[in-house]
Structure 1
């Protein structure tokens, strides 16, 4: 059975059984009817996914992998903060009349800094360092820029990625690993979406620099289930589990900036029915 399913069920069960509630406290999110959106939460939830073993897609329900990839390309490849450059509508609630979400996400990745080797934006510097100094401990991106927070329509949730290279004895190629830091996560709506997104990002970057995609370590500071999601989560985690799908990239693509969603190959994805009409707190 999918290891992602097993980790997800354990995480949700731990939150429901042992989490603390924000009910009765001052909270920012609201439901569409204006009611405060309370949560049950756990602090400091971590999960490891080894892409050498299997791709971490839930089978309890389907994760839209190509849409997840499109959003990650929007942020790290197209470096956009405008929803008109994104095929899905998940950011519509936070966009202004021009389609902008402010100085957030792709805007931050596009910002250039000066180095002895020249000027690089955040993603270009990652690719440069992995090519020239792969064992550096300074290879990362960070979207949580305090000076720009007031001009972001939503503070970044998954905000920092750190890359780390290992090369075990006997391995032909080095392994590229990733740590994803996330300050907050709506577990039902976003957990596997984010996991799959960053697994795909790790795969694309690894292929671009001639490495093997290894471990994704996901760190969530505030892992929460919203009050109106509890019954949905209980039904979801009780569902049958299936083997993980096979997910790979077109091997002909060797540049990070050449990948498209057509280069994501998904095979044997068996899954339960989709969960529809999930209420989203804004």
Structure 2
């Protein structure tokens, strides 16, 4: 292995190689997922993975392969700002990540943005009901030391009406000395495809909310229940992670905070898809077969 792996690149490589070298092979009799040719898609996995990315580690976007920066942010805008479950919105923006899981109404049922958009949190003193995103923004402003500034997509009353149960399912926003940490819970992580995409998404969301709430960026804490690699991904991952990394220091440019008259934009107006990533270099595209 080359020794120029640092920050998230090193974290990612260490997790992946640990799964390849020491992971448990899934019981073949319990394999649910299949490749497009109908073959069973078994995994190697480890349970209970935790890592953290500190501000000094930089933007957690892989250099060992290209992570498409626009598609993850379009998807997260759809969930966190549009508060939507309608896949038509994504398709109109050429984002195809949910095409395999739509129902006959072209939605994903009562999942993701639907859950965040529910008016479910009471603000008694104002006789208000806020959705989950409005609530965390309100609490970060009014009660930043709370240990209850959380979102959850795992609503047991609605799970049967979701086309796919949420993978990244919970966030916990913690403030100490005006520094905002973000804790993310992920029940299941496809390490070749979905996980790098998810970490980049939530790192950008973390930065936007910290900036919007006039807080300093803190640490991103990430917990995975089941981190896995599909069998057909193993050799490609070994190749991807055997190459030295290009030298770069990616930076992001957030959407404007104020309009031309000095009025502050709302969080929902500062579109995640407008975030720009600069000075990003990578080792090119690696294609991984999707298992469903």
TM bracket (short chain): over 0.9
SS state of the match for residue 158, structure 2? helix
Query: In 2, Cα distance between the equivalents of 1:4 and 1:149?
Result: 32
Which residue in 2 is equivalent to 1:43? 47
TM-fit CA distance, 1:212 = 1.7
CA distance in 2, matches of 1:50, 1:249: 19
1:56 and 1:244 in contact (8 A); partners too? no
Q: Residue deviations 1:144-198, cap 9 Å, x none?
A: 011111110001000000000111xxxxxx1111010000010000111000000
Whether contact under 8 Å (1:51, 1:213) holds in the other structure is yes
- Asked if the contact 1:68–1:193 (Cα under 8 Å) also holds between the matched residues in 2, the reply is yes
For the structure 1 residues 219 and 114, does the alpha-carbon distance in structure 2 shift closer, same or farther, using more than 3 Å as the test? closer
Query: How far apart in 1 are the matches of 2:149 and 2:48?
Result: 23
- What's 2:34 paired with? 30
1:259 Cα deviation (Å)? 1.6
Please say if residues 58 and 244 of structure 1, whose CA atoms lie closer than 8 Å, have aligned partners that are also in contact: no
Aligned to 1:171: none
Pick from 232, 242, 265 the counterpart of residue 276 of structure 2.
265
Q: Quick one: distance in 2 between partners of 1:55 and 1:224?
A: 23
Quick check: 2:77–2:273 contact (8 Å CA) kept in 1?
A: no
Q: Match of 1:127?
A: 137
**Match of residue 262 from structure 2:** none
> Paired residue for 1:147?
157
Please give the root-mean-square deviation of Cα atoms over the aligned residues, in Å.
Answer: 1.5
- 2:75 is aligned, of 71, 78, 96, to 71
Unmatched segments (≥5 aa) in structure 2: 259-264
Distance in 1 between the 2:285 and 2:84 partners? Answer: 29
Counterparts of 1:129 and 1:260 in 2: how far apart (Å)? 21
Change (3 A) 1:41 1:187: same
Which among 78, 94, 103 is matched to residue 96 of structure 1? Answer: 103
Instruction: Find the residue that maps to 1:112 and give its secondary structure.
Output: coil
Cα offset, 1:15, TM superposition = 0.5
Partners of 2:189 and 2:273 in 1: how far apart? Answer: 28
Describe the SS at the equivalent of 1:141: strand
In structure 2, the residue matched to 1:252 is: 257
The residue matched to 2:85 in structure 1 has which SS? coil
**1:128 counterpart SS class:** helix
The corresponding residue for 2:116 is 109
Change (3 A) 1:152 1:265: same
Instruction: Report the Cα offset of residue 35 of structure 1.
Output: 2.1
Runs of 4+ in structure 1 off by over 6 angstroms are none
Asked whether 1:218 is paired with 2:222, we answer yes
In 2, distance between residues paired with 1:133 and 1:108? 23
Matches within 5 A, 1:191-202: 191-202=195-206
Q: Distance in 2 between matches of 1:244 and 1:50?
A: 15
The reply on whether 1:238 has 2:242 as its aligned counterpart is yes
User: Deviation string for 1:202-261 (max 9, x for gaps)?
Assistant: 111111111122111110000000011111111111122133412231353553111225
- Give the secondary-structure state (helix, strand or coil) at the position aligned to 1:44: strand
Q: Which moved more, 1:137-146 or 1:200-209?
A: 200-209
Q: Is the 8 A contact 1:80 1:107 kept in 2?
A: yes
Contact 1:44 1:221 in 2 (8 A): yes
Compute the TM-score of the two structures, normalised by the length of structure 1.
Answer: 0.93
